[in-house]
Amino acid sequence: MELVQMQKSLQDYTKSLFLDGVLDSQFLQLQQLQDESNPDFVSQVVTLFFQDSDRILNDLSLSLDQQVVDFKKVDPHVHQLKGSSSSIGAQRVKNACVVFRNFCEQQNVEGCHRCLQQVKKEYYLVKNRLETLFKLEQQIVASGGMIPAMELGF
Amino acid sequence: KENRCELCFSSLLPCFVSSPLSYYYSSMAKDGGVSCLRSSEMLNVGIGGMEPPPLDLDEVHVLAVDDSLVDRIVIERLLRITSCKVTAVDSGWRALEFLGLDNDKASDEFDKLKVDMIITDYCMPGMTGYELLKKIKESSSFRQVPVVIMSSENVLTRIDRCLEEGAEDFLLKPVKLADVKRLRSCLTGDVKLSNGNKRKLPEDSVSVDTSLPPPPLSLTFSTNSSDSSPPLSPVEVFSSPLSSPEDDDDVLTSSPEGSPMSEESPIRRQKMGSPGLD
């Protein structure tokens, strides 16, 4: 594929993530922190987010599977995931965590189970999309191109 | 074998293997290189030539405290990109340990420690940012240091409590580059110039640091877009001032938290400029 085509694909793909609400402006904030001295900053932070989140989701699954659910354990995990997803701009994950916390507060086990499924769904979605985005970027860089500056008029 | 600092992800310099009591921090040397050192290496000088460079009096040194690794990386990068030296720790206890406030013994080493600002998360296990704030304000050596609180929750009573306890500012997470630039410009205004004069910038002016090359933006985006939703009023939590910090986390919301907070909300934060900085 030609370089120009790849760059256009990346632009369109990124735009779609914002339009779908998968990412919010905080992701753009992270991109502002990336420069020649830190060329992989965004992917590094996002990778940490994935590692962190995998662990949290695992802990949450275990906690909710207990005979007696300890909400004092569940809520901090959700709070943590809400925070880190917010920090990288994973809007839908963050919003799902907000709903999750409400059910924790109500000590609603059934509600929490549903929320966990929703959080996982949103998480795997953003993970998938971002991994694709980083692959596209890598392809462009490998072809000697630059990641294009983009104007998002919305 | 390449080691990466868990704080700044840099692998420019090797990280030392830690003892259980030490922790990572990163610090930027004059040449821009990042050293990722354990606390023991900072205080016990001269290990394999990895001694951190003496702190330049003109450089702003910030201590960042956050239990979230992702947030630590981001805040550290935000601070470094605005030309601050950063020490990032993962708890209030580590912060006190770094400042030498963890025991009653006065220590000579900490006389040389120059910290220009402390920025801390509010919600942390063990010691909250509020408790850390109180301890710092109780200390003779560091009570003049501006302390900024960060929180993901816009809770009026929480903000008031922190400001009353002497916090300089309260930032809503996720923290943005504009927030840190604003803090930085306030600090620059109060750093002693080489001729010893203290000059304070007018509170309303936000100086652009022209010594920094503008970071190449891969995306341009107007964050104060015209699709602004009506500003959310800060949420009131009806708890007594003596309640434990955990009670504060019961946030009563009438609208989804996902809506963007208005940047212009006057209650969200107060501008820096307490008497302590004059």
Least confident of A24-38, B24-38, B41-55, B69-83: B41-55
Comparison of pLDDT for B162 and B276, the residue scoring more: B162
pLDDT value of position A37: 86
Pairwise CB contact (< 8 Å): A52 & B69 = yes
Give B32 or A66, the one with higher predicted confidence. A66
Say yes or no to pLDDT of A145 above 70. Answer: yes
**Backbone φ, ψ for residue B158 (5° rounding):** -65, -45
State the Cα torsion B259-B176-A11-A94 to the nearest 10°.
-40
* pLDDT recorded at residue A57: 98
C-alpha dihedral, B82 to B84 to B85 to B89, nearest 10°: -80
pLDDT for residue B41: 45
Q: Which positions in chain B touch A150 (Cβ < 8 Å)?
A: 218-220
Spatial distance between the Cα atoms of B220 and B222, rounded to a whole number of angstroms: 7
CB-CB neighbors (< 8 A) of A93 in chain B:
none
Cβ neighbors of B197 (< 8 A, separation 6 or more) are none
* pLDDT (0 to 100) of residue B208: 41
Q: ipTM score here?
A: 0.93
> Which range in B74-83, B107-116, B209-218, B250-259 is most confidently predicted, on average pLDDT?
B74-83
Q: Of B69-78, B153-162, B267-276, give the lowest mean pLDDT range.
A: B267-276
> For the segment B109-138, what is each residue's pLDDT rounded down to a tens digit?
555 678 999 999 999 999 999 999 999 999
Are B177 and A84 inside 8 Å of each other by CB?
A: no
Count Cα neighbours of B45 within 13 Å in the Cβ-side half-sphere. Answer: 5
Cβ partners under 8 Å of residue A71, min gap 6? A104, A107
Please tell me which residue, B113 or A57, carries the higher pLDDT value. A57
- The C-alpha atoms of residue B202 and residue B186 are separated, in whole angstroms, by 9
**Measured distance CA(A126)–CA(A118) in Å, rounded:** 12
Taken in order B71, B98, B144, B34, is the CA torsion positive or negative?
Answer: negative
Contacts of A28 (CB under 8 A, 6+ apart): A89, B219, B221, B223
pLDDT higher than threshold 50 for residue B275: no
Residue B137: per-residue pLDDT: 97
Task: For an interface test with A, give the residue of B219, B222, B227 to mutate (most A CBs within 10 A).
Answer: B219
DSSP conformation class of B115: -
pTM for the model stands at: 0.70
Distance CA A55, CA B9 (A): 19
Mean residue pLDDT of chain A comes to 93
**Contact B130/B122 with Cβ under 8 angstroms?**
yes
Quick one: DSSP state of residue B6?
Answer: T
pLDDT tens sequence across B7-28: 444 443 333 333 223 344 445 4
Rounded Cα distance between B250 and B248, Å, is 5
What mean pLDDT do residues A105-118 have? Answer: 96
DSSP bridge partners of A150:
B219
Question: Among all chains, which residue has been given the structure tokens 């409400």?
Answer: A102
CA distance A37 to chain B (A): 9
User: Which residues 77-106 of chain B have a CB within 8 Å of chain A?
Assistant: 77-78, 81
Domain chopping of chain A, boundaries: 42-138
B219 interaction partners in chain A (CB closer than 8 Å): 14, 28, 31, 149-152
Query: B249-267 as b/e, with b when 16 or more CB fall inside 10 Å?
Result: bebeeeeebbebeeeeeee
Let me know if B186 is exposed, middle or buried by CB neighbors in 10 A (0-12, 13-18, 19+).
buried
Whether the predicted pLDDT of B149 surpasses 70: yes
> Which superfamily, per CATH, for A42-138?
HPT domain (1.20.120.160)
Integer Cα distance of B188 and B81 in angstroms? 15
* Percent of chain B's residues with pLDDT above 70: 44
Q: Do A151 and B220 touch (CB under 8 A)?
A: yes
For A78, half-sphere exposure in the C-beta direction (CA atoms, 13 angstrom radius) is 29
Residue pairs spanning A and B at CB distance below 8 A? 97
Whole-number pLDDT of residue B34: 46
Cα–Cα distance, B152 to B122 (Å, whole number): 9
